[in-house]
Amino acid sequence: MKRIINTTNAPAAIGPYSQAVEANGMLFISGQLPINPEVGKIEVTDIAEQTEQVFANINAILTEAGYCFSDVVKSTVFIADIADFGAMNEVYKKYYQTECPARSAFAVKALPLGALVEIETIAAK
């Protein structure tokens, strides 16, 4: 059974996709950009602040679906500049300190809306 997850506490999708989909005890969260859901745009320009906003958005979706960060089994990080990896990682490790999820991280040429970071997440119960 598939359930679409949607919350106003995270940014609305900027294309034809869902914020998240739950299926068979797994939650698949679409890549989250550092969009402030209250204003619908990226307000911060620093990689650490953008990463914090991304995690706030992920948390809102996890919460709406009845999951938490300890349920996360995999995340994929896309960053616009590999030089920002260390600063992104400092924020990332605040959310995953023990039994960390599997992770991939890629530097990409560009991200939507000029974002510096985007993170997609998979959680399981």
Range of the domain at 60: 2-124
Whichever domain contains 18, its CATH number is 3.30.1330.40
- pTM for this predicted structure: 0.96
Instruction: Tell me how many domains the chain contains.
Output: 1
Going by C-alpha positions, the residue among 104, 121, 120, 122 that lies closest to residue 31 is 120
pLDDT tens, per residue, the chain with 125 residues: 899 999 999 999 888 999 999 999 999 999 999 999 999 999 999 999 999 999 999 999 999 999 999 999 999 999 999 999 999 999 999 999 999 999 999 999 999 999 999 999 999 99
Contacts of 83 (CB under 8 A, 6+ apart): none
